[in-house]
Amino acid sequence: MPDFSITNKYLYHFRVFIETMRGCPFNCAFCTATLYSGSKYRYMPEGVLRGTIEKWCLRRIMPIRLANTNLVADHDKTARVLNILKEYDIRWWSACSTNIVEHEDLIKLSADAGAIHLQFGFESVDEGTLAYINKRQNVVKKYKLLVKKMHDYGISVGGNFIFGFDTDTPEIFKRTEEFVNDTDIDILLYGMLVPFPGTRIFDQYHAEGRILTYNWAKYNAQHLVYEPKNMTREQLINGIAELYDNTYSPSRILKRFSYARSAYDAIMNASMGVVAHIGRHFLYSLMKGTIDESFDEDSAYVMKRPPNKSFERVRRMAHSMKMQT
Ligand code: SF4
């Protein structure tokens, strides 16, 4: 059983993470999960799971994070875990693969067992990209149905998207924006591809001489560490930032507040808005730092990027309020 008592209570006791299963057989071309946790699904023994819940998970304000690679791994074993969780009064969230759309019984059981939020690696709205990364369990035309089914059972949806694959062109940002505006995903996360060592994507980019740095500290999704193929570096970085701007504009945040399914969603939505409108300036300075180091001529372009419109509106409002006092 995990011994959380040896961790710093101020840092780690507010939110509890438990891993009820690990392993992933899919081995997608960009992902390290199969590399570090193996391709075979393994489940926490029932006694350990019960002991962990009883000792660490009851009477928690924050939902428990099931730090599983995939909630829907082995259908029957997942159902067994969910039936155990159902016996306790707990709220939790987890990563999950989109093929749960085929298993309505598991969606219902998840809701009955206390799921308030499931996070999906949609990765892309482009079928060609999904084929390129070998994420064969994702089917773009079922994404919308998936979101609807989750909402029908009162579970909110987190959507992760990654940009910069060789199949991506600059128009992927517009397509993604249209998709998310048309699909009531509750919390959106956009990331830049990181070709982690050991993955097939890293091997390909390395063989093609497109890895820009072998300083692993920069493989943190906040630095561009490879040369994109079908868009420029600026298009990639700016495309992600603009997507955050456009889909976390104040009006989009307010709309998502109106259908937030839990306080957790509302808080996450608000904090993502802060990331989009303020924190990303910090993120940009990090990215700019990387580009500065290797590509002086590009850093000027990033610095000259026009300010975020919503941020600028807030800044002007704050300025006018100050003048009235
Ligand atoms: S992206 Fe998801 S499905 Fe693919 S290998 Fe990683 S954890 Fe498994």
Per-residue pLDDT of 153-162, as tens digits, reads: 999 999 999 9
Question: 28 in ligand 1 pocket by Cβ < 6 Å?
Answer: yes
Q: Out of 30, 42, 72, 97, give the residue to mutate to test ligand 1, the one with the largest number of ligand atoms within 8 Å of its CB.
A: 97
> CATH number, domain at 222?
3.80.30.20
- Atom 4, ligand 1: residue with shortest CA distance: 28
- CA of 96 relative to ligand 1 center, distance in Å: 10
Percent pLDDT > 70 in the chain is 81
Question: 97 in ligand 1 pocket by Cβ < 6 Å?
Answer: yes
- CA of 73 relative to ligand 1 center, distance in Å: 11
Q: Which residues pair with 94 in a beta bridge?
A: 66, 118
Q: Which residue has the higher pLDDT, 24 or 295?
A: 24
Q: Indicate whether 288 pLDDT > 90.
A: no
Q: For residues 234 and 298, is the Cβ–Cβ distance under 8 A?
A: yes
Percent pLDDT > 90 in the chain is 49
Please report the pLDDT score of residue 316 as a whole number.
53
Q: Indicate whether 197 pLDDT > 80.
A: yes
Q: Which residues of 286-304 are buried (b: 16+ CB within 10 A; e: fewer)?
A: ebbebbeeeeeebbebbee
Question: 241 in ligand 1 pocket by Cβ < 6 Å?
Answer: no
Q: Indicate whether 77 pLDDT > 70.
A: yes
Q: How many domains does the chain have?
A: 1
- CA of 3 relative to ligand 1 center, distance in Å: 28
Question: 222 in ligand 1 pocket by Cβ < 6 Å?
Answer: no
Closest CA to 170 of 241, 236, 245: 236
Please report the pLDDT score of residue 87 as a whole number.
97
Q: What is the mean pLDDT of the chain?
A: 83
Could you tell me the pLDDT band of residue 323, with boundaries at 50, 70 and 90?
Answer: very low
- Going by C-beta distance under 8 Å and a sequence separation of 6 or more, which residues neighbour residue 112? 82, 86
Q: Indicate whether 271 pLDDT > 90.
A: no
Q: Give the range of the structural domain holding residue 268, as residue numbers without chain letter.
A: 4-324
From the CA of 31, give the closest atom in ligand 1: 6
Look at phi and psi of residue 164 and say left if phi exceeds 0, alpha if psi is from -120 to 50, else beta. left
- Going by C-beta distance under 8 Å and a sequence separation of 6 or more, which residues neighbour residue 293? none
Q: Indicate whether 152 pLDDT > 80.
A: yes
Could you tell me the pLDDT band of residue 314, with boundaries at 50, 70 and 90?
Answer: very low
Q: Out of 22, 30, 31, give the residue to mutate to test ligand 1, the one with the largest number of ligand atoms within 8 Å of its CB.
A: 31
3 state SS for the chain: CCCHHHCCHHHHCCCCEECCEECCCCCCCCCCHHHHHCCCCEECCHHHHHHHHHHHHCCCCCCEEECCCCCCCCHHHHHHHHHHHHCCCCCEEEEECHHHHHCHHHHHHHHHCCEEEEEEEEECCCHHHHHHCCCCCCCHHHHHHHHHHHHHCCCEEEEEEEECCCCCCCHHHHHHHHHHHHCCCCEEEEEECCCCCCCHHHHHHHHCCCECCCCHHHCCCCCCCECCCCCCHHHHHHHHHHHHHHHCCHHHHHHHHHCCCCHHHHHHHHHHHHHHHHHHHHHHHHHHHHHHHHCHHHHHHHHCCCCCHHHHHHHHHHHHHHHHC
Task: Name the pTM for this structure.
Answer: 0.83
Question: 34 in ligand 1 pocket by Cβ < 6 Å?
Answer: yes
Question: 27 in ligand 1 pocket by Cβ < 6 Å?
Answer: yes
- CA of 31 relative to ligand 1 center, distance in Å: 6
From the CA of 24, give the closest atom in ligand 1: 8
Q: Indicate whether 34 pLDDT > 60.
A: yes
From the CA of 32, give the closest atom in ligand 1: 6
Q: Indicate whether 305 pLDDT > 60.
A: no
Top-confidence range, 192-206, 213-227, 277-291: 192-206
Q: Indicate whether 149 pLDDT > 60.
A: yes
Question: 204 in ligand 1 pocket by Cβ < 6 Å?
Answer: no
Could you tell me the pLDDT band of residue 212, with boundaries at 50, 70 and 90?
Answer: confident
Please report the pLDDT score of residue 155 as a whole number.
92
- CA of 101 relative to ligand 1 center, distance in Å: 16
* Mean pLDDT value across residues 238-259: 83
